Amino acid sequence: MTEVEKLIPHRPPFLFVDEIVSHEGDVLVAKRTWRAEEDFYQGHYPGAPITPGVLLCESVFQTGALLMAKLMSGAGGQSAASTGSGQGVPLLTKVTDVRFRLPVYPGDTTTIEVRRKETLGDFHFMTGTMKNGEKRVLNLEFSVAWKKPEGQVTS
């Protein structure tokens, strides 16, 4: 099990972060290589595939979930949900100011940076950017609340 899989519940084929590059305070940096064999490329511009923007955003949100898991668990490295303290998951509550600048193609490796800007009560306000090399792919603002979803089935 990878560090990413230990921290968040997402699993393939809906896991869009490969590794954590660094974590310092309220900033986490991760990477994702977009593989040509992934199913969504078959139907998203067949013959000239590009990565769907909604999946690029999801990659940023999952990076935010990794940051929140680390922050909620302290320095221990396990997710708060797995340790029994602060049971829950970061639920997306708002997305604003999404700006797509460049497409991402199969085979590209992107770097994702998420920064927590502010916390008000249960809500954590974040900003995220994605780059392909030195070129910015997208930036967005979003917020999450750390909660146990009602009706959530846990194993």
Give domain limits for the chain: 3-147
If you search the block for the tokens 């040509």, which residue do you land on?
36
In 3D space, the residue among 19, 18, 11 whose CA is nearest the CA of residue 35 turns out to be 18
Q: Is the pTM of this model over 0.85?
A: yes
Q: What is the 3-state secondary structure (H, E, C) of 30-98?
A: EEEECCCCCCHHHHCCCCCCCCCHHHHHHHHHHHHHHHHHHHHHHHHCCCHHHHCCCCCEEEEEEEEEE
pLDDT tens digits for range 46-101: 999 999 999 999 999 999 999 999 998 874 444 444 333 356 788 999 999 999 99
- What is the second-level CATH architecture of the domain 3-147? Roll (3.10)
Residues annotated as catalytic are 44
